[in-house]
Chains A and B, each alone.
Chain A
C-alpha cells in the first residue's frame, strides 16, 4: 500500500501524502530526545507548490526539486522529513531558502538513532514568517528512453523521422503536475541511487555497512485513482502536442517538456519529441567478410546536420523502426529496426536494416601463386611472397541507385595492391585493411579486380 493520509501513533501525528513527508516542528529548547518528544509543537504542514523532475537516461536517477512555503519561527526550527517506502536517496536531500537565503540557515541534518526513514533538519532563522524553500533530492525508479519511427519514400531517397520519448514511473510515488525535464548524457555515478535508498543507515556504519534485505518497493498501483487524475489532466490539456525545448548544458542535453506532466506510479507516458519530413537518405550496402561473412548488410545513411534537415539536437540512442511507403495510398512495409547510438549534431547516422537479399557482392579468388622464396642457413624457407588475384562482382538487383562499401582485409601489414576495372574509390583504412566505395545505378552489375601481393617471413623485412 502506498502511504496514505492517516494518523500515526508517533509523536508527529500527521504525515503528508507526498514524496517526502515533511513536518515542521516548533522551537525546541533541549536536544534530549525525551524532551523533544514532550515539547513537540506542530506548526505548519507545508504544501508542495511546484515540482520539477529531471530524469536521466543513462542512470537510474531522477533529480526532484520541489518548492514549499515554510512558516518559520525566529530562532531554531526543526523540520522532519521521512522517506519510508520510497526510493529516495536520503543523503541527497538538501534545502535552500529562496527569498532569504542569508537569513535562513540549515545548521545540520540528523538521522536519529534507531529510527528508520526519518531525518531532522535544524534550521536557524533570523526571520519569522513564511519563507519559500527549495528541497532537492534524488530518487530511483523513474526512467525515460527515446525511440524513433522512420518512414521511407517509395524511391528510398528520403525519410520522414519521428522521435519520441517515453517516461516510465516505477518509483512508488505519483507525480502530479510536475515540470518534466529529461537529461541526455552519461554522468559519472559512484553509488547507485537504489542502493543508497535501501541502506539501513543513510551513510552506512563506520565498521561495516549493513544493507537491509533488498525488498523491492511495494507496487502501489492505484489504477482507478491514477486514471481519474490522468483523465482530468487530459481534459485540461491543450489540443496540440506539447513542445520539448532542447538545450545544451555542459556535456549534456536537457529536454524540457512544455507545461507539466502527471505520471502516476506504474504508468508510462509517450511524448513526441520531434518530427522531420523529407530527410535525404542514402541506401548504403556494406560487405565485410570478416564481420558479416558473405552477407551484404543494408544501411540507411544520413547526417544529423542542416543539409539533411536535421542538426537541431542530438539524437539519444534508441530503437528506430523503419517502414517504407509502398504506394500512393501510403500503405507501409516494414523494413527493419536498429538501435542507434547517441548521435551528436553533425555526426553521421547509419541504420543497420539487416541482410540485403537484392544486393550481392561476390569476391572470388581467381589466381594464387607464390614466389621469391628465401632460405635460411639450414635450407628451410625463411621468406616468400604470395600473389592473389580477386575478382569482385557487385550486383544491384534493386530498382534504385545504391552505394556499396566493400572492406577487404589483407591479413598482414606487408602488401602491395594493384586495382583494375570499375572499382570506384579505394581507401587504405589502416595497415591491414582497404575499402572500396562504389555507386551502382538501378539493376546493374560492376566488376573489378585487385591483385594483392603479400610478403611473408624475411620477405616482409
Chain B
C-alpha cells in the first residue's frame, strides 16, 4: 500500500501570498518514487532514502509530502537537492495541522527538472540477522551462513528498494507492508572452532549426586571474526545462531542455538550450544578455620583471616581429552596459599582454572586460600 505521497504545487510568489489566505492547496502532480534505499546498519532505526524528480517552475514552488498511515518521525525528514544544488534552495518547511504531511518551499532560478533525495526514519521497519552454522563431524571447523530478515510493518510498500546492511552488499527487493523477507548475505568457512566447557561454582550444584537430574556443564563454541577464517570483512550483528553438525551420513543433527552478540572485526563470538553430561564436577570444602585473630581490649574478635581448603573432582566420561574451565569466586581480600593447578585472576573476586582431563579420566583440583582482614 503506497501511502507516502509527494505532491507538487507550483506557485509564483504572488499567488503564495494569496494561498495563505485561502488555506492549503493540495497535490497537483505526483512524481514517482525511484532509487529507494533502505539502510539497516543502525540497529535502532532504519533509514529510507528515495529519489524523485520534481518539475520546478521559476520562482517559489511548494512541495507537499504526506505519509498518512505511516509512522515517520517528522523531524527526521530531510530533502536534498541533487541536480542543481547550488541554484535551488529550500526556503522553509511547514507542517499543516492534524495531518501527517509537510510542505517544502523551494526556490528555483529556472524552470527545470530537479532530482531530489528525501530521507526519513520510519518506524516499524527493521531487520534481524540470523545465522545458521554447519560444523564438521569432528567439530574442528564450521561453515557459517548469515541471513538478513527484513520486516516491514511500516505501513508502506517499497518497490524494488535497495537494501543495505553493513556488509556493503545491497539487495534489490520489493517489500510490501506486513511482509517479511529472509535473504542470505554471507557464507563463510571453514571457520575454526574452539570448544569450551565451563563449570562455575557460583551457579552449579557442588554435589551432583544430591541433585535429581544429571548436572549439565555448559558447552560453548568460540569463533573469531578474522580474515584467516573467511570472516573479518565487517562486524557480525547480533542475532540468533542455529548450529547443526554433520552426522557423518551426509545429513545433520541440530546441536543448539544461541543469541550471538554483536562481534566487531577482530573480536570473538561465543555461542552457548548446550550442556554436556559427560563431565561431572564435585566440589567440597574440606577445611575452614579462623586464623590471625585480633581482639579488642574487651577480648572480642574484631579482625581475623581464614584458612580454607577446597577440592574439586572433575570426572571426564568422554572418549577424548577435555579442558574444563573452572570458575571460583572468593569474596573480599584474599591470597591463594597453594593450588595444584595454575589459575588466572579474572577479577578481584574471581579466579579461573584450566583443568585438562584425559579421556575417561579424572583430576582433583585442590586450592587453599586465606581471606584476609575479615571483620
Contacts and interface: CB of A to CB of B under 8 A. Distances in A.
Interface string A143-176: 0000000000000000000000000000000000
21 contacts: A52-B251, A63-B253, A94-B132, A110-B180, A111-B180, A112-B179, A185-B274, A187-B256, A188-B257, A188-B273, A204-B151, A206-B126, A250-B219, A250-B245, A251-B277, A252-B253, A314-B278, A341-B213, A342-B213, A431-B285, A461-B304
B181 A110 contact: yes
A207 B253 contact: no
Nearest to A432: B285
B130 A342 contact: no
B98 interface: no
A346 B360 contact: yes
Contacts of A219: none
A108 B182 contact: yes
A11 interface: no
Given A188-B273, A190-B258, A343-B214, 16 more contacts: A56-B254, A91-B130, A106-B184, A108-B182, A109-B183, A185-B255, A190-B259, A203-B128, A203-B180, A250-B139, A251-B274, A251-B277, A345-B317, A346-B317, A431-B284, A431-B287
A215 B78 CA distance: 46
Contacts of B286: 428, 430-431
A239 interface: no
B214 A317 contact: yes
B255 A250 contact: yes
B357 to A, nearest CB: 12
B177 A113 contact: yes
A145 B53 CA distance: 66
B151 A109 contact: no
A330 interface: no
A345 B278 CA distance: 8
B183 A107 contact: yes
A429 B177 CA distance: 66
Contacts of A252: 253, 255, 274
Contacts of A254: 247, 253
A418 B298 CA distance: 36
Nearest to A375: B299
A212 interface: no
Interface string A308-322: 000000100100000
Q: Which of B176, B180, B286, B301 has the most CB atoms of chain A within a 10 A radius of its CB?
A: B180
A31 B259 contact: no
Interface string A209-220: 000000000000
A190 B182 contact: no
Q: Sorted from nearest, which 4 A-B pairs have the closest CB atoms?
A: A344-B317, A113-B178, A251-B276, A342-B214
A113 B298 contact: no
A356 interface: no
A413 B149 contact: no
Contact of B174 (A31, A56, A114): A31
A109 B280 CA distance: 44
A204 B315 CA distance: 44
Contacts of A63: 252-254
Contacts of B123: 206-207
Nearest to B46: A206
A248 B277 CA distance: 12
A203 B177 contact: no
Given A111-B180, A206-B124, A317-B214, A249 B253 contact: yes
Interface string B151-194: 10100000110000000000101101111111110000000000
**Chain A, interface size: which category?**
35 or more
A382 interface: yes
A46 interface: no
Most buried by B among A188, A346, A376: A188
B82 interface: no
B126 A201 contact: no
A189 interface: yes
Contacts of B340: none
Contacts of A138: 254
A341 B182 contact: no
B338 to A, nearest CB: 17
A187 B128 contact: no
B293 interface: yes
A65 B280 CA distance: 34
Interface string B302-339: 00100000000001011100000000000000000000
Given A207-B123, A344-B317, A429 B180 contact: no
A377 B179 contact: no
A183 B216 CA distance: 16
B242 A92 contact: yes
B256 A189 contact: yes
Interface in A295-351: 314, 317, 339, 341-347
A314 B139 CA distance: 21
B212 A341 contact: yes
A194 interface: no
A202 interface: yes
A251 B212 CA distance: 20
B213 A206 contact: no
A347 B279 CA distance: 10
Contacts of A94: 132
Interface in B122-140: 123-126, 128, 130, 132, 135, 137, 139
A414 B289 contact: yes
A342 B277 contact: yes
Interface in B196-239: 211-214, 216, 218-219
A205 interface: yes
Contacts of B41: none
